[in-house]
Each structure stands twice: as structure tokens, then as C-alpha cells.
Amino acid sequence: MSEELNERRRLSRREFLELGVAGTGLLLLTGCGGGQGGGSGTLNALFMKQAAYSETDVKNMTEQFQKQNPGIKVNLTFVAYEALHDKIVAAAPAGTYDTVLVDVIWPAEFASKKMIVDVTDRFPESERSKIVAGGLKTTEYDGHYYGVPWILDTKYFFYNKKMLGEAGVNPPPDTWDGVVEAARALKSKGVVEYPLIWSWAQAEAIICDYAQLLGAYGGQFFDESGKPAFNTGGGLQALEFMRMTLDEKLSNPASTETLEDDARKIISQGEAAMALNWTYMFALANDPKESQVAGQIDIAHTPKGPAGAPGVNGSMGMAIANGSQNQDAAWKYIQFMTSQKIQNQYAKLSLPIWKSSYNDKQVVQALPEVVPVAKKQLNDLILRPVVTQYNDVSHTLQVEMQQALTGDKTPKQALDDAAKAVAETMES
Amino acid sequence: MSQARAARLKKLPRTILPKGGAFRQGPTALILLLPSLVVVFGIVLYPLLRTLYTSLFDVNSAFPGRYPFVGLGNYLEALERTEFWAAILRTAYFTLSTTLLEVVLGILLGLLLNVEFRGRWLLRSIVILPWALPTVVNGAMWRWILNPAYGALNALLTQLHIIPEYRSWLGTPWMALNMVVVADVWKMTPLAAFFILAALQTIPRDLYEAAWVDGAGRLRTFLSITLPLLVPTILIILVLRTMEAFKAFDIIYVMTRGGPADGTQTIAYYTYVEAFSNQLFGYGAALAYVIAFFILCFAIIYMRLLRRGEVEY
């Protein structure tokens, strides 16, 4: 008998195993590939927390959308910009999100890996021609469009006019040489310990500042043959400039651990007089609830270098995730969020993508000091490299530049090392 | 069923035989065990094997698909890269320094908490608080404390005239790594202290009394009685902490994101960056197995030490 019992147990144990494996397999069978959907249902949308439109703005816009489209419900998720890319990657196979916010540097990677949907057919030339040219590049890759630009932004030059006045700097500087002169005056007259604050933490932020300086000094990320060129000419001068401001103690040494929002807070506390930052800083640094120096912060075109004064293209767009089962509704939502009417209404923290908005009364009134500056700056933008391995390239540059800024390497050595590593990454 | 068998079955104690006889056990047991089987296969074994499989391919996207087979190529690439070895060295430093500090401070704190004094219950409950904080909260809190412009540490040190002016704590690689060590030690020392405290309370009083009678001083008693008897507990703390520290990720993610200049990039953080930011999932999977290999080595060494370290009173 005992043998028979054993026999039965052994059988059922095998059954357990089989059932277990089958059950697991079922669990793992997730739907891949998207669907059009019927233009209604529930959408999951991914946004970022800081800079540009605030969370409250996005919530209010979405509520307006839901009122107009009772059949569609939108769930919003907000993550820090620094976590956004990885969140999109990790969620892609599961199809968690229907719409995602993509930075100007990602479409090459996301499109080539088929993570976001080609919307060229839904996004006709008649619409595209109404959008500011620099902004339109945000979601373009290889001649196709993978979303609609939504945030049109670049780094402007912010300065504390009261502090500059105290140091006798008038008019405010409009060249990088002038900025250095002004910083020296601010420091020697004891107006502020560190006149400059930068967002040079190990993050995309340092690349944005660097791109802007590289443009001013006439450098290039890559030459015509696609080889790294940032270690020569303007690219090298830009990093040498950055290092010099730290060596002379004109820049706050904490810059190497600072992101844009930290820089905004330091300016808002009156602990620095000049900085590069996105549009959103203007309203917040002049808001008495957020700032101790409200009313003292002015905005200007980025300072000129020997080769000009391009602003970094820091725009972002809304794209449909490839795994979305509800792409028609997702498109409706994107159309609404990027529409001129909505963008004009919420212009205070982020300017519209539409050319004609810059003459719109509502927009000009929201930011009377910013719009004239933006009108000029947004026509002069510099792009960061459009490569599919962008994150790897950017990370290499961030690390090498930080080694130069913290004194471990000379700027030349750091950029040469970066160029070598980047060339290897691009080949592999 | 033969009569003889039925008779034998009846003789079995009732506790073994549920109502309805032995042969209905199968299906019921199957149903009851199914959830745990799904769990074991679904979230332990399957990912483990899947990661091993992935590590043998050049997977460069999160989507399923066909990717070129590279054999041990990903592993060899890791061994060739300087970033990999730099991350291993950094992780070794982080692991050694945090574990050592936590054990030493944990012993001191444990001894203090074992002494009888007024308000000891209060101190005991306060001390455990850092450990109760989630790591992410701890990391965010230390980032505030260390903030160069409005951090509490700068304010404290300048007001005590220890440093002349505010300074940057997370802005240079070496300093940043040490600050992450401080944050980790602050959080995990209470755990070590409570292990030590528990062990101290099991040491029989008569041992101390005998030492006292023999004329041993405090230091002598500590070195000859307390410390040897604490060895097994210290070993357990070492095991727990080295393995945890070697996997350090969340505190780095919150405090420094691996920067500046990769100065706080531990091996786990490096793995994350390669897998999710650079979408090199095959390489990332190989790195994950390298981490697992290191931890397995620690585990084997410690298991042997632990077996030797058993004490009898």
C-alpha cells in the first residue's frame, strides 16, 4: 500500500510542477503591441514634476479635457525629470502608459526601439507649419514625427538687478566676458560670496549648460563625419570657461551637486546673482511666496560668446506609447494639451509652441518681460547630439566634465577621454 | 482496496488521516499549494533563470524579441571595463567602512543601552527610530541636511566655528562617497546596537560576578568575557550588513544619483544605469549575476565562520 501511496504523491508532485509552470506562463503572457481603441476609455499619462507647467496646471488642463470629452478618463502620474527616461523604458513592455512626455534628446532612442508611435499621418504639414521651427525638431527623428512638441524651452540668463546695481554693474552683461567682469565686481565689493550658480550636477542639466556655452564659443559636438569634436575649439573653450569660474571662486563650488531647481532656490534666497535656467524660474523667483528676492530677478537672452548666443533646445513633447491600447483617445488628449487655446491660457510657466501665440495678448500679458526675450531666443537654438545611444554619450560627458570641474583632470584631458569613450560607444 | 489494507489504514492515528480517507489529499493539497508555487516559480525562479538567459544575449531594448547570442561576452566585457572595476572598488570601500563603523558604534551603543539608568526606556525607543525610517526618506533627509545653501550641517558647523563658511558636501567625489557612508551608518547603527543589546542580556550575570571576585577590572571583563561572548552576534551583524551594503542602491539613487563624476556609483547603481538608462539589458543582467556571485562568496565564507563561532556558556 505504501508504495501505491507514494506513487500517487509522486504523480501529484509532478502535476504541481506542471501546473505551477503553466500558471506562471499565463501570468507572464502580457499583451504586446498597441491598439487604436474607440476614442474613449481610460488613459494613463506620464508627466514630470519640475520645471515648465506645474502639477496643478497639468491637473487643471486635464480636467478641462475630461469635461469636453466625458467618455475619456485620464489618470496622471508625475515623476522627477531625472527619473522620467527610465520610467518610460521600464513601463514600455507592459504598456502602462498611453501618453508619455519625451525630452528632445530621446526620440532617436525611443523611435528606433519602437517605444513611441509614429504620428506623422495624424500631424499634418498644415499644423506643423504653425509651430516654432526649433520646437518642431523636438519630436522629429529620421524625417518622421513621433509626437507633438508641448514645452518650448531654452535656458535664459537670469540676474538679480538689485545686486548688480549694488556692484555698480550697469547695464547688465550681455556677453560671457561681461558676466565674468560683473561676477568679479560682485565678489570684490562683497555683494555676494559666489555670484554665479550653475546646475552642474551629474545629470542632463550640466550638458544643457555646456551645450549653450559650446554654441557661444563656436564648438560642435560632432564633426561632419560624425566623429566627436567637442574636445577641440569651442567645445574645449566652453569647459575651460566653466573651470575658470570655479577656480576664481566666482561660481559656487556647490554647482557640481546642483540641479536647475536647486539653482532656482539659491537665486531665490539671494545667495547668487546670476544663473542660466528655464523659463519657469522667472515667475517663481519673482513670486514672494517662493522667493526672498521677488521683483529683483530679470530675464535676458543668453550671453554672447565669440560665435553667438544660441540657447540650448530644451523642449519636450507628448508622444503616444507603443503599448497603448487606446491610441485614438491618447491622440485626442495630446491634441487638446498642445492646442493653442490651452497653451495660451497656461503661458505663465511655459510658453506656447505656436508661432502666433507670441503676439497674443493673453500670452504677452502673462509674461510681459519674458515674451520679447523668448521671441528672439527661440529662433536661435542649439540641439544636443541626435544619436540613439544618447544616454550613454551624455553620461560619459557628464562624468568627464565633472572630473575637470572638481579638479581631477584638466579640461583638455577630460574631453579627450570623453571623445575616445564616445567614439567607442558609437561604434558598438 | 484489499481488506487487509483497509484494516491497516484504520490503525493509523486519526490526525494523519483526514476525513474521507487518504486519497482525497492530493487535489486539496494541490489547490492549497498552488499560490505558493506560482509565487516561487513566478517571482523567484523564473526571473532568476530569465536573467541568466538574458545575460547571454546582446539585448538592447526592453521589448521581447530576437537578439544576437553572445555567450559569455557580456561577462567578459564587464571584466574589461574600467568603470566596472572602479564601481567594485567603490562598493568594497562603502561596504567595509559602513560595516566596520556600524559594528563598532553598534557595540558602544548596545553597551550604553544595557546600563541601567533613568529614562533608559526612552533612549531605547528613540535610538531605534533611524532604523525604522525607509531608506528613501533617510536619503532625502540627509540631502537636506547636507544641502550646501541651506543645510543643517553647514549651519551647525559654522555656528560652532568649526568651519569658516558654508561648503559643498556632495559636490566632490570623495567627500560625497563618505557622506553617503555617514548617512548609511546613521540609519543602520541602531540595528547593530539592538542585536548587541539582545546578546548582552543573554550573558549570565554570574560570569561577571566571578570576574569581579577574581579582581578583573572593567576593561579586562569586557575583553575576556563580554567581547568573546558577543562574537557570534557580531558575525551575524557582519553577514547582514556586508550583503546589504554590497547591494546599496536606493540611498545612492536618492542622495547623489551616482555622481559627482561617478564618485558614488556602486556596482548596483552601475548595473541600473547600464540596464535602464542605456537600455543594455543583456549587459545589465550579466552585471546582476556578478553581484550575485560576490554575495554568494560572502555567504559561503560567513557560513563557515558562523559554524565555528558557536559558544557555550
Chain B touched by A187 (CB under 8 Å): no
Q: Distance between CA A288 and CA A345 in Å, rounded?
A: 22
Q: For chain A, give me the number of helices (H) and strands (E)?
A: 18, 12
> What was the ipTM of the complex prediction?
0.81
pLDDT digits (tens, 9 = 90+) for A283-304: 999 999 999 999 999 999 999 9
User: Pairing relation of β-strands A140-141 and A311-312?
Assistant: unpaired
Region of residue B2 (left: phi > 0; alpha: psi -120 to 50; beta: else) = beta
Q: Kindly report the CA angle at A300 between A340 and A277, in degrees rounded to 5? A: 75
Place of cell 530621446: A106
Please, which pLDDT band fits residue A51 given cuts at 50, 70 and 90?
A: confident
From A18-22, A104-108, A151-155, A210-214, the region with the lowest mean pLDDT: A18-22
Chain B touched by A49 (CB under 8 Å): no
Contact B61 A12 (CB under 8 A): no
Chain B touched by A356 (CB under 8 Å): no
State how far residue A310 is from chain B, nearest Cα, in angstroms.
27
Chain B touched by A92 (CB under 8 Å): yes
Please, which pLDDT band fits residue A3 given cuts at 50, 70 and 90?
A: very low
Q: Distance between CA B172 and CA B180 in Å, rounded?
A: 12
In 3-state terms, what secondary structure has residue B204? coil
Between positions 69 and 98 of B, the ones with CB within 8 A of A are none
In 3-state terms, what secondary structure has residue A117? coil
Chain A touched by B149 (CB under 8 Å): yes
**Dihedral sign of CA atoms A87, A92, A93, A95 in order:** positive
> Is A161 within 8 Å of A172 (Cβ atoms)?
yes
Contact A391 B278 (CB under 8 A): yes
Mean local confidence (pLDDT), A224-248: 95
pTM as predicted: 0.83
Question: Considering only CB atoms, which chain B residues are within 8 Å of A16?
Answer: 30, 33-34, 37
Question: Considering only CB atoms, which chain B residues are within 8 Å of A262?
Answer: 147, 149
Between positions 100 and 129 of B, the ones with CB within 8 A of A are none
Q: What is the 3-state secondary structure (H, E, C) of A348-380?
A: CCCCCCEHHHHHCHHHHHHCCCHHHHHHHHCCC
Question: Considering only CB atoms, which chain A residues are within 8 Å of B64?
Answer: 32, 93
Question: Considering only CB atoms, which chain A residues are within 8 Å of B40?
Answer: 20
Cell numbers for B142, please give them.
540627509
Q: Please provide the DSSP assignment of A408-421 as one string.
A: SS-HHHHHHHHHHH
Between positions 269 and 298 of A, the ones with CB within 8 A of B are 269, 271
Res A12 pLDDT > 60: no
Region of residue A51 (left: phi > 0; alpha: psi -120 to 50; beta: else) = left
pLDDT tens digits in sequence order for chain B, 313 residues long: 456 665 665 555 555 555 555 556 788 888 899 988 888 888 888 889 999 999 999 998 888 888 999 999 999 999 999 999 999 999 999 999 999 999 999 999 999 999 888 888 898 889 989 999 999 999 999 999 999 888 899 999 999 999 998 888 999 999 999 999 999 999 999 999 999 999 999 999 899 899 889 888 888 999 988 999 998 899 889 888 998 999 999 999 999 999 899 999 999 999 999 999 999 999 999 999 999 999 999 888 888 887 765 555 5
Q: Please provide the DSSP assignment of A385-398 as one string.
A: P--TTHHHHHHHHH
Contact A85 B277 (CB under 8 A): yes
Amino acid occupying residue A139: T
Q: Distance between CA A339 and CA A131 in Å, rounded?
A: 11
Count of CB pairs separated by less than 8 Å, A with B: 139
User: Pairing relation of β-strands A99-103 and A41-48?
Assistant: parallel
State how far residue A4 is from chain B, nearest Cα, in angstroms.
10
Please enumerate in sequence order all residues whose Cβ is within 8 A of that of B31, keeping only pairs 6 or more positions apart, or say none.
none
